[in-house]
């Protein structure tokens, strides 16, 4: 849920941030930031599916989003539906 910059990860791994960025692209085919967002969105979907009693704003906070509005916007862009709609669809299936 914390902000984890590429440079922080690079420092932790004792490598240059440019090297790490290139490695991400080479190995995963996407940027570090897109990979991190993918992980957060997958966790958000799991929370919405497995913990329907959890409020949308709580999920956003758990995943490190600074505002609920931003979380909803990113989720909708990623999945094509709002978190509330996604959660409702999961309950119905």
What digits encode the pLDDT tens for the residues 12-60? 999 999 999 999 899 999 999 999 999 999 999 999 999 988 999 999 9
- Give the range with max mean pLDDT: 19-28, 60-69, 72-81: 72-81
HEC profile of 2-71: CCCCHHHHHHHCCCCHHHHHHHHHHHHCCCHHHHHHHHHHHHHHHHHHHCCCCCHHHHHHHCCCCCHHHH
Confidence of residue 82 (pLDDT cuts 50, 70, 90): very high
pLDDT at 93: 74
User: Could you say which DSSP state residue 93 is in?
Assistant: -
pLDDT at 18: 94
Please say whether the beta carbons of 56 and 68 come within 8 A: yes
Q: What is the pTM of this model?
A: 0.84
* Euclidean distance between CA atoms 54 and 68, whole angstroms: 13
């Amino acid at each position: 849920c914390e902000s984890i910059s590429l440079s922080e990860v690079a420092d932790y791994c004792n490598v240059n941030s440019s090297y790490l960025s290139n490695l991400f692209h080479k190995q995963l085919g996407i940027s570090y930031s897109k990979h991190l967002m993918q992980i957060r969105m997958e966790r958000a979907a799991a929370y919405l599916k497995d913990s329907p009693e959890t409020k949308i704003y709580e999920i956003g906070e758990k995943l490190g989003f600074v505002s609920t509005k931003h979380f909803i916007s990113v989720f909708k862009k990623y999945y094509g539906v709002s978190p509330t709609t996604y959660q409702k669809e999961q309950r119905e299936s």
